Structure 1
Amino acid sequence: MISRFLMLSFATPLALAGCATGPALVGGPAVQVLDTAELPAPKQVGADGELAYIIGPLDKLSVTVLGLEELSSKEVQVDTAGRVAVPLAGAIDAGGKTPSQLSSMIEGRLRAYVRNPQVTVNIVDSARNVITVDGQVREPGIYPVIGEMTLMRAVASAKGAGDFAKLREVVVFRKVEGQQYAALYNLDAIRKGVYDDPRVYPSDIVVVGDSPARRMFSEILKITPLITTPLVTLIAYRR
């Protein structure tokens, strides 16, 4: 399954033109048409598909030092500057680190007091491990990402699509390495097994039908009323 990948500029009106791979957006020199299978995954996703969580401000962590209960903390909160205080280890810059990286840093600090310390850091509660679900859903809001969440599960977490939702016009927004992407999905086609239910990640924004987010795709929808493959775009803003 191949979807069309487009870089959009909203400074000029968008029109549609035919090409060898199907309809493409044409709107000036900023438009570039490529082929891709899906939205790019966040940078912290490894080759095995596992999400390496990055610690951020206000996250709550548990710190366990094997065999040393007095140095362990069932719950410690990262402050707004991204620092966390650990017994004997002191204040450590945790922001931007993975739990594994923070574990190694704490072990390094504790070696001055403990022989061969073994430290485990786990996420208790995350201020950033969430997605936003908006548009025509029954309960728009911010929801935690639990395990490998997919688009259908994200909509279900908001109590499902609303009575007036347009299931063929579901948009997912994602920022990867400073680039803003958007993809248009047909939720009804996914339910019927026409194509796979795409995975969503923390910080994604999901907008279901009938909302301002669909305006960027309005010209496409006039020409291709039945979206049977995802339409993935890179949104380029003029400076």
Structure 2
Amino acid sequence: MPGSHLVVTKDTDLPAPSGGDIVRSSREYRIAPFDQLKISVFGVDELNQTIRADSGGNISLPLAGTIKSAGLTLEEFSALLRTRLAQYIRTPQVAVNLEETTSQSVTVYGQVQQPGQFPIMGKMTLLRAIALAKGASDVANLEEVVVFRTINGQDMAALYNLEAIRRGTYPDPDIYASDVIAVGDSSSRRLFRDILQASPLLVTPIVVLLQRL
């Protein structure tokens, strides 16, 4: 990031973001197509399930039927589900939690075949994220892959060697929603220029704090 000063940390991998860094609060979040919800109905185990909305944002449940969930907050969906179930269950107690959402995305740019934003569904790693961008280009510098992440309001970045990950030198790091991945991008690499001059062989990831000047 232009105008940033680097502070090298002792970490060998980027810390995981907090829940607040990844998604908006559950009171504000609105359900989208293909979101996966965990639904619990107290005292009625057969209605407890994890279910994914279809392409139209609809969710079909026993007794409740089909509910148009897209555009509703979790609280609004819970209230609608309680109303439907109240026809069969006295004072139903319903809890709805978001498990996965395609509205969360990762950005991949630089020397890849198809730069862009890609939805995250389930566990994501650096290699998988680059595969979503159709892989690195033929001229990509795989020793210079930078991941940017915001953690509790603090901007951080890590420099990875993709070839080293493929060789098993160190693990394929987890990637989270809102991460930005730069593959072989010279402007991103320049952030690490002084560090790389002192230690040109990247045997472990380099993790830094980005402090704006």
Give the structure-1-normalised TM-score.
0.63
Amino acid paired to 2:32: D
Bigger proportion of residues as helix: 2
Match of 1:76 in 2: 69
Quick one: structure 1 residues 220 and 229, their matched pair in 2 at CA, closer, same or farther if it must change by over 3 Å? same
The answer as to 2:119 corresponding to 1:126 is no
Offset of residue 68 of structure 1:
2.1
Amino acid paired to 2:63: G
1:107-127 CA distance string (max 9 Å, x none): 667787762435656679633
* Separation of aligned partners in 1, 2:76 and 2:19: 15
* Separation of aligned partners in 1, 2:132 and 2:206: 23
Match of 2:173 in 1: 198
Offset of residue 168 of structure 1:
1.0
Match of 1:59 in 2: 32
The answer as to 2:139 corresponding to 1:146 is no
- RMSD in angstroms over aligned alpha carbons? 3.5
Match of 1:173 in 2: 148
The answer as to 2:90 corresponding to 1:115 is yes
Q: Give the secondary-structure state (helix, strand or coil) at the position aligned to 1:42.
A: coil
Offset of residue 166 of structure 1:
1.1
* Separation of aligned partners in 1, 2:188 and 2:16: 21
Quick one: structure 1 residues 147 and 9, their matched pair in 2 at CA, closer, same or farther if it must change by over 3 Å? same
Asked if structure 1 preserves the Cα contact closer than 8 Å seen for 2:147 and 2:180, the reply is yes
The answer as to 2:193 corresponding to 1:215 is no
- Report sequence identity in percent: 39
1:143-164 CA distance string (max 9 Å, x none): 1213211101111111111122
Unaligned runs of 5+ in 2: 34-56
Offset of residue 10 of structure 1:
4.3
* Separation of aligned partners in 2, 1:9 and 1:214: 12
Offset of residue 39 of structure 1:
0.8
* Separation of aligned partners in 1, 2:116 and 2:2: 29
Task: Specify which structure has the bigger relative contact order, considering alpha-carbon pairs within 8 angstroms and separated by 6 or more residues.
Answer: 2
- Number of corresponding residues: 185
1:86-131 CA distance string (max 9 Å, x none): xxxxxxxx2xxxx6x776565667787762435656679633x211
* Separation of aligned partners in 2, 1:172 and 1:123: 24
